[in-house]
Chains A and B, each alone.
Chain A
Amino acid sequence: GQSLEQPSEVTAVEGAIVQINCTYQTSGFYGLSWYQQHDGGAPTFLSYNALDGLEETGRFSSFLSRSDSYGYLLLQELQMKDSASYFCAVSLIYGQNFVFGPGTRLSVLP
C-alpha cells in the first residue's frame, strides 16, 4: 500500500518560520508536490521536487531526500493568510497517479 505521514497540526506566530514534514512509503516515486488549501477552497499548487535538494519559491521552500523518503515544506516570514491546510503528494512512477498525505493544518497567530 501507499502511505504518507504529516503532522496533523502546527501553530506559529506571524513573522516566524515553520517546517512541515512529510514521510512517505510508496510503491513508486516520481516526485513530491506540495499544495495549500484554505478552508472552503480548492487546493493550489505550491512546489515540486523530483530530485534531492531544496527548491525555493519566494517565502516557500521545499526539500526532498529520496534516500530517506522524506521531504518538508518551509514557510518563512509567516503571514496570517498562510493559515491553511498543507498537503504533500507523491506522484507515483506512472506519472499521473497521485497519493496525498492527510494534511497539516497550520494556524498563524498574531
Chain B
Amino acid sequence: EAQVTQNPRYLITVTGKKLTVTCSQNMNHEYMSWYRQDPGLGLRQIYYSMNVEVTDKGDVPEGYKVSRKEKRNFPLILESPSPNQTSLYFCASSQGQGGQPQHFGDGTRLSIL
C-alpha cells in the first residue's frame, strides 16, 4: 500500500529536549515536505526536499532542521523545542513538482510544555 508514515503520532515533551519526528514514504517519490498546521493559519511549509541531499527552507524554518540522506526518509528535528512549536505536523511526498499531488502522512501532534 502506498503510504507516508510518520512517527510518533503524538508526543508531549518539555522545552529544550531534542526530538525527532520521522517520515518515510514507500512510493519512490523525489519530493518531500514538512508542514505545520495551526488553527486559522492553514498549513505552513517548514522545509522541503527535491532529492537526496537537496533541501530548502519553506516559510517557517526557524527552530527546525531536516536531512535527506535517503530518498525514502525525511526526518524533522527540533534541536531545542519551545512551546510555540506546539502544533500538528504533516509530512508529504510527491512524484514531481508543482501540480503533482502531495501525499500526506497522518500527522504528528506535538505538545511542548
Contacts and interface: CB of A to CB of B under 8 A. Distances in A.
**A is bound by B:** yes
A67 interface: no
Given A2-B59, A42-B106, A100 B43 contact: yes
B43 A96 contact: no
A96 B48 contact: yes
Contacts of A48: 98-101
Given A43-B104, A96-B48, A102 B99 contact: no
A48 B98 CA distance: 9
B101 A45 contact: yes
A70 B48 CA distance: 25
Interface residues of B, number: 29
A87 interface: yes
Given A42-B106, A42-B107, A97 B99 contact: no
A42 B90 contact: yes
Interface of B: 31, 33, 35, 40-45, 48-50, 56, 58-59, 90, 92, 94, 97-107
15 contacts: A2-B59, A8-B40, A35-B102, A42-B104, A45-B102, A48-B101, A87-B43, A91-B98, A96-B56, A98-B45, A100-B35, A100-B42, A100-B43, A100-B45, A102-B40
